[in-house]
Amino acid sequence: MLFSMALLTGFPAFVISGQQAREEDARQILQHALKAAGGRFNALRGPMMWMERGAYYGEGAEGSPFIAQYASKWPDWFRCEIEGVFTLTVSGHKAWMINDAGTQKFAGDELANVMRQVRMAWASFLFPLTGKEYTLKKIDGIRIEGRAVVGIRAIHADGGDFRLYFDKASLLLVKMEANVIIPQFGPSPVLVEAYYSKHKSLGGARLPFKIKLFCDKKLFVTTEIVASKTGATLDPAYFEEPE
């Protein structure tokens, strides 16, 4: 049927139909991944908090330990506090960072870059990718630690995209990658790769608790969730823009 329609309407119709098929394939991969993770994501949409312990390798081979505390209420609130270093807050379409140097309010390209990274953080929970603001494309699978994977490319309506890879057997998320501006690496985007493992239940969904992050092929951060709470009570004052 598809072949005969292409003959009647010309080659461009065939291209469009093929593109739609790839989008449908990507949506199917996502639905299978959601099901593999347990299909229970309502708790993650509401207010939640979690804590991570990790090591930062950005300034040398010896990792510097850190503790990070997060609070979020998708899609409006996101707060990341690296104890003793900085606090990054997103509230709606505004974002700012507080550290020893004071308060930095983001705007323009810097704000767009922060929002993109926050969207990637939420995307690791999978359910945000079901929204209409994302266009999904199936991409070629690769092998990660000898395992076959399937991949999708997620393109947000506001610009920017990233790629997610799922274990072909279990359909659990094992990698996400994108080209992102990281200040330590200069003003141009670099390849950022997050490898996920140690999947456990978080709010009823089976999601990765351990992350190994590489920037420009260099180990940047390792981190692991050590505590979490869904249905948390979040103080609105944490998400009020500083004067």
Question: Element (H or E) spanning 78, and its range?
Answer: strand 77-82
Give pairs for 127-130: CB < 8 Å, separation 24+: 127/34, 127/41, 127/44, 127/45, 128/74, 128/75, 129/30, 129/154, 129/164, 130/30, 130/34
Comparing 87-96, 126-135, 140-149, 171-180, the range with the smallest average pLDDT is 140-149
pLDDT of residue 105: 97
pLDDT in tens, 106-122: 999 999 999 999 999 99
Peptide bond into 75 cis (omega under 30): yes
Q: Band of the pLDDT at 20, cuts 50, 70, 90?
A: low
* Residue ranges making up the domain that contains 222: 2-239
Classify residue 87 by its DSSP letter.
Answer: E
Cα 194–Cα 199–Cα 205 angle in degrees, nearest 5 = 110
CATH number of residue 189's parent domain: 2.50.20.10
Q: Is the pLDDT of residue 22 over 80?
A: no
Q: Structurally, how many domains does the chain consist of?
A: 1
Top pLDDT among 59 and 92 is at 92
Q: Is the pLDDT of residue 154 over 70?
A: yes
The answer to whether the CB of 206 falls within 8 A of the CB of 35 is no
Torsion on CA atoms 171, 230, 75, 79, rounded to nearest 10: -110
Residue 221 CA to residue 215 CA, distance in Å, equals 9
The answer to whether the CB of 80 falls within 8 A of the CB of 87 is yes
User: With the C-alpha atoms ordered 129, 67, 52, 143, is the resulting torsion angle positive or negative?
Assistant: positive
Residue 88 CA to residue 90 CA, distance in Å, equals 7
Phi-psi label, residue 66: left if phi above 0, alpha if psi -120 to 50, beta otherwise: beta
Phi-psi label, residue 92: left if phi above 0, alpha if psi -120 to 50, beta otherwise: left
pLDDT in tens, 32-59: 999 999 999 999 999 999 999 999 998 6
pLDDT of residue 13: 37
The answer to whether the CB of 80 falls within 8 A of the CB of 164 is no
